[in-house]
Structure 1
Amino acid sequence: MSIQQTDVLYTAVATAENGRDGRVATDDGRLDVVVNPPKEMGGNGAGTNPEQLFAAGYSACFQGALGVVARREKADISGSTVTAKVGIGRNDDGFGIIVEISAEIPNVDAATAEDLLAKAHQVCPYSKAIRGNITVTLA
C-alpha cells in the first residue's frame, strides 16, 4: 500500500555531488559528508560511503520499529541495539546489495527476540521499501 502525498509527515532532502566520490549534504545543513568508495571497491576509503549511510538509516529505523512492536507485545527491549550490515557486490545486473539485521535484546529470551525481529521486519518502513528487491536476513 502506498501513501498519498497528503499523508507524508516528513521529507528528507539530500543532494550528491560527483556520485560515490564526492559529497552528500542535506538541505538543512545537518548532514554534510565526503563520500568515497571503500578501498575494496578501488576508492581511497577516506570518507563514508552510501552503504554506510544506508546501514545507519536502516538500523535506526529498525530499532524504532522494534520499539513499536515491543510496546504492542509488552516486551522489555531496554538496552537493546540493532546493527545493520549492508554489503555490496556484483550481480547479473551490475551491482546489488544485501543486508543482515542483527539485534541484541538482553531482557528477553531467544525465541521472543526472534519473534520481535520478525514482527519489526514487517513494520519497519525500510524493510517495506526493499521487500522483494534485496535479500535481508535477521539474526
Structure 2
Amino acid sequence: MSSRISQSLRRAALRPSPPTILRTPIIPRRFQSALQKKDGPVLYSAHAKVVGARKGHVEAESLNVDLTMSKALGGPGDAGKTNPEEMFAAGYGACFQSAMNAVAAKDGITMPTAPEDSIVETTVHLIGDMQNLDLGLRVDMKIMVRGLEEEQIKGIVEKTKNVCPYSRAIKGNVWTQYTVVKLD
C-alpha cells in the first residue's frame, strides 16, 4: 500500500503544475479617473534638460541651476549648487503644501495666509546599496501649521496624501513618514 502511495506521489510531482496567470486588477468604473490613462487631460507640462548628470547643469523654462554630487556620496558638495534629492524635496514639499491648501478650501477650512504659519519641511533620503546599484528614496515630511487644531491638520494631511500628484506618483514605491506639528 505504501508503495502505491509513493508511486502516486511521484507521478503527481512529475505532472506539470497549471500555469500561473497574472492578471491586471480590474478597477471598478467608479474608481477610474482620467489620471489613470495615458491620454488624461494635461493641465501643465514642465520640461527640463539635464547635461552632465549629478555634476552638470539643469535648464528649464524658469530654472537654471548647476548640480553637484553631495559630499555624502563622495562629491565636492559645491556651495550654491544643488542635487536631484534637494530638487525632489523642494518639489514634493511645495506640491504637498499647495494640495493641502486645496483640500482645506474644499472642506471649508481656512488655512493660514502668512507664509510662516504653514510650513512643510521635506527630507529626501537616498537609500540602498551603491555597489549593487540597488537604490531608492525614503521621505520624511514635517507639516507645521498655526491656527488649526492638530486633528484638523491631520485630517487635511490624510486627504492630501490622495490628492498631491507627488504623493500619488510615489505611492507604494517610496516609504514616506508624515509628522504633523501644531504651531503655537
Displacement of 1:115 in angstroms is 1.3
Q: How does 1:37-56 map to 2 (within 5 A)?
A: 37-46=69-78, 47-56=81-90
Contact 1:66 1:120 in 2 (8 A): yes
Match of 1:137 in 2: 177
Amino acid corresponding to residue 37 of structure 1 in structure 2: M
Match of 2:53 in 1: 19
Runs of 4+ in 1 over 3 A off after TM superposition: 3-6
Choose which of 71, 83, 101 in structure 1 pairs with 2:121: 83
Q: Distance in 2 between matches of 1:93 and 1:119?
A: 35
Q: Distance in 2 between matches of 1:16 and 1:136?
A: 27
Q: Distance in 2 between matches of 1:69 and 1:33?
A: 32
Q: How many residues align?
A: 137
Question: Whose radius of gyration is greater, 1 or 2?
Answer: 2
Q: Distance in 2 between matches of 1:87 and 1:37?
A: 14
Contact 1:118 1:138 in 2 (8 A): no
Aligned-pair Cα RMSD in Å = 1.6
Contact 1:98 1:135 in 2 (8 A): yes
SS of the residue 1:105 aligns to: strand
Displacement of 1:6 in angstroms is 5.8
SS of the residue 1:138 aligns to: strand
Match of 1:113 in 2: 153
Query: Which blocks of at least 5 consecutive residues in structure 1 are unaligned?
Result: none
Amino acid corresponding to residue 72 of structure 2 in structure 1: E
Choose which of 89, 93, 108 in structure 2 pairs with 1:74: 108
Amino acid corresponding to residue 34 of structure 1 in structure 2: D
Q: Distance in 1 between matches of 2:144 and 2:52?
A: 37
Query: Which blocks of at least 5 consecutive residues in structure 2 are unaligned?
Result: 1-34, 180-184
Q: Distance in 2 between matches of 1:75 and 1:6?
A: 29
Q: Distance in 2 between matches of 1:6 and 1:137?
A: 29
Amino acid corresponding to residue 139 of structure 2 in structure 1: V
Match of 1:126 in 2: 166
Q: Distance in 1 between matches of 2:98 and 2:111?
A: 11
Q: Distance in 1 between matches of 2:140 and 2:111?
A: 20
Identity of aligned residues (%): 33
Q: Distance in 2 between matches of 1:37 and 1:66?
A: 32
Q: Distance in 2 between matches of 1:38 and 1:84?
A: 17
